Structure formats: structure tokens, C-alpha cells
Amino acid sequence: MNTPKRKFLIVKLSSLGDVVYALPFLRTLRAGYPNAYIAWMVEERYRELLNGNPDLDEVIPVRLKHWRKHWNGKTLREISATRRLLKKRGFDWTFDLQGLIKTGILARLTGAPNRAAFHRNNCREKINTWFNNRQSEYVAPGGHVVDLYLSQLSVLGNTFQPKQEFPLIVSAEAERKAEIFMKENPDLTARPIAAVNPGAGFPTKLWSLERFAQLADRMTGELGFSILLTWGPGEEKMVKQIADTMRQRYWMAPPTTISESIALYKQLTLFVGCDSGPLHLCAALGVPTVSVWGPTHPARNGAYGAGHQAVYHELPCSFCWKRKCPIGTHECMDRVTGEDVYRAIKTIVPENVRMTVTP
């Protein structure tokens, strides 16, 4: 008699970095249940991160952000269709790796008899536990979010060997576009490439554009890097301001999709930026990173693994996790100087590349 496949659903909608950091959870689950049916529910704009992933049987995109802003007949039909799909799949288990009210509701809508969640005190919105019936053990603060996600596997009662791997699948078309860009810019590839990326998810995580420009000039003049200014939606003005301030030569990255940006980041020797999606993509790719921190904590959300440097000055109000500075000064980010970041870069560079500065 054939035993029915177990059916698992991972609920992790956003953001880009958080989806990336949930990939080891998926890989570990697949290693423990090689014959299971595993699906992942994700916001539509991040589905590129999961397309083609060998550990997944299905990606279920949703548009919660869009639905909240466009409450109409089309939205209701999409919600209804999503609900029918979830019921039809007949999931045995859901894993809510977001810990929010909305993700708890989505897990409940599946009708799965086993709905795993974090311990109440690990949830961002504690009401989340009302919708789930299998809580993992409490995880004390101080660990990385990757390990927090992995801890939820304990609800299955098995001993899992964590697979701390981040498979990022890049389409052939994205690889081709990155290759064309590099071939069109031979002087860029003549030296090790460092990306400077000023963007971040909200204002309190942003660092001075002037300091980014000064730092990029030093990286070129003193360390021999080619500087590639990278950016995401809505950030082009920021990199243009950096470019206008720089004295050394630079290259501007083209507009990219998520997959195209991954293909581009694979060419890097170093990434410098703030707490952002590109930082986490580069860390997942094994690219050494140096990042500036203030309202968010690098121990929890920083680049995962060795070969990275997080730069910050801890103040009494640091790590507030606020999108707007509670005291109105942005002091936690402003305290980080260009010299601080440059020193961090120098601790990484000798271990990874040998560069010669051309007079």
C-alpha cells in the first residue's frame, strides 16, 4: 500500500531579505522529507526568488499588498480563487514563518490540521497564535532570523540536520543580460568590482549619500576597486547623487529585475550598503559584505555567515526597529563615519582579493 505524500505549505510572504533567509528552512525540510509535496506562498513581487527552486513543487503567489489598496470585485475574485486553491491542495502542515495576523489567517484558510507557528513571544503580532495550533519552543533574543526560522521545524518531532544553504536560481536570460553588461564595460571588469548600494526599505536605515560617495572614491583610489553603483525601484536619484559627488570613475548598474540583479551580484568581489534586500542577496551568494546599521540589529538580520562586517555605534536608542526616528535625529546612522566603514572594508579585502592600484 502506497503511503500518501505529506503536503507542506510554507507561508513567508515578504520581504526580499526575509524570503532569502527562509531558504535554509526549505532546504532542510526537503532533506528531511524528500518525497513530500512542498509549496510556498509568497507575495507576487518576490516570486522570482523561488522560481525554479529544486526544493519546491509549487509557488503560490498572492497580492495582499495590492488587495488592501484595491478593494473591488477583481480583488474579491482573486481572494476567492486563492482560498479554493489552498483548500484543493489539502495541505497536512503549514509553517507560518512571518508571525503576523494576516499570515495566521492565510494558514487557517488552508484547512490544514497542523498549523505551525513561532512561540507567542517570538511573533511580531502575538494574535498570530490564535490561528495556528502547533507552536515551536521559545527562542531567546540574540540569534539570527535564519536560526529562528529553522527552529520551527521542531514541531515535526524529528531531529533535523540544518542545511544552511541559500539556493538562488537565475534564469538563462538574466545571466545573458549580466554577461552583456560586463562585456560592454571591459574597464569595469579589469579590476575587482565593489557594489555601492545606498538603498534601504525605510528612511531610518539610510546612510549619508555624501559619505557613500567619499567612501567609493577611497575604495577606487586606495584599494583599486571598480565601483558599480547599484539600485532598486525608486532609488535611481540616490545613486545619481552619489555619482555627481564622486571624483573617481564609476559605473551605473542598469535597471534590473530580481533575477537580473542576482546575476549581476554574482560578478562582485564586495558589496557595501545598508540593511537591504541586495545586502541579503549578496550574502546568500557568498559575496563578502560591509553594511551600516542603526535601527535594526545585525545580529538578527545581518548578513548570515562568515566573511561579513556590520558597522554600527550602539546608542541607548539603537535597534528601535522604527521606520521613523523616535527622537528625530537619525543619530544611530549618522554616528557611523566613512572611516568606520573603510576600516571594516580593509579587514575583509586582504582575505579575499589582491588588488593593485594603477597610478
pLDDT in tens, 246-293: 999 999 999 999 999 999 999 999 999 999 999 999 999 999 999 999
DSSP state of 207: -
CA-based angle 96:98:261, to the nearest 5?
Answer: 115
Residue positions counted in the chain = 359
Whether the predicted pLDDT of 2 surpasses 70: no
In 3-state terms, what secondary structure has residue 282?
helix
The answer to the question of residue 163 being in a domain is: no
Q: How would DSSP label each residue in 308-343?
A: EEEE----TT-S---SS-TTS--HHHHT--HHHHHH
Instruction: Name the domain boundary from 129, 156, 183.
Output: 156
pLDDT value of position 89:
95
- Quote the CA–CA distance of 310 and 274 in Å, as a whole number: 9
Q: Do the beta carbons of residue 280 and residue 21 sit within 8 Å?
A: yes
pLDDT value of position 351:
53
Residues 209 and 143 in one domain: no
Residues 122 and 246 in one domain: no
Predicted confidence band of residue 304 (pLDDT cuts 50, 70, 90): very high
Q: What is the mean predicted confidence (pLDDT) over 340-350?
A: 92
Range of the domain at 272: 172-352
Instruction: Name the domain boundary from 130, 156, 182.
Output: 156
The answer to the question of residue 357 being in a domain is: no
pLDDT value of position 155:
94
Q: How many domains does the chain have?
A: 2
pLDDT in tens, 85-122: 999 999 999 999 999 999 999 999 999 999 999 999 99
Predicted confidence band of residue 49 (pLDDT cuts 50, 70, 90): very high
Residues 93 and 240 in one domain: no
The answer to the question of residue 346 being in a domain is: yes
Residues 105 and 18 in one domain: yes
Residues 187 and 148 in one domain: no
- Quote the CA–CA distance of 135 and 91 in Å, as a whole number: 18
Residues 133 and 246 in one domain: no
Mean pLDDT of the chain: 93
Whether the predicted pLDDT of 53 surpasses 70: yes
pLDDT value of position 354:
47
pLDDT value of position 353:
58
Q: What is the largest CA-CA distance in the chain?
A: 74
pLDDT value of position 244:
98
Whether the predicted pLDDT of 302 surpasses 90: yes
The answer to the question of residue 338 being in a domain is: yes
The answer to the question of residue 205 being in a domain is: yes
pLDDT value of position 1:
45
pLDDT in tens, 192-211: 999 999 999 999 999 999 99
pLDDT value of position 64:
84
Q: What is the mean predicted confidence (pLDDT) over 178-189?
A: 97
Predicted confidence band of residue 65 (pLDDT cuts 50, 70, 90): confident
Predicted confidence band of residue 66 (pLDDT cuts 50, 70, 90): confident
Residues 179 and 42 in one domain: no
Residues 137 and 252 in one domain: no
The answer to the question of residue 322 being in a domain is: yes
Whether the predicted pLDDT of 157 surpasses 90: no
Instruction: Name the domain boundary from 156, 180, 202.
Output: 156
Residues 228 and 194 in one domain: yes
Residues 292 and 345 in one domain: yes
Residues 121 and 189 in one domain: no
Q: What is the mean predicted confidence (pLDDT) over 322-327?
A: 92
Whether the predicted pLDDT of 356 surpasses 70: no
Q: What is the CB neighbour count within 10 angstroms for residue 240?
A: 14
Q: Is the dihedral of CA 30, 32, 35, 39 positive or negative?
A: negative
Whether the predicted pLDDT of 172 surpasses 80: yes
Whether the predicted pLDDT of 132 surpasses 60: yes
CATH number of the domain that residue 144 is part of:
3.40.50.2000
pLDDT in tens, 204-251: 999 999 999 999 999 999 999 999 999 999 999 999 999 999 999 999
pLDDT value of position 69:
85
**Percent of the chain clearing pLDDT 90 (strictly above):** 87
The answer to the question of residue 39 being in a domain is: yes
The answer to the question of residue 358 being in a domain is: no
Residues 176 and 126 in one domain: no
pLDDT value of position 350:
64
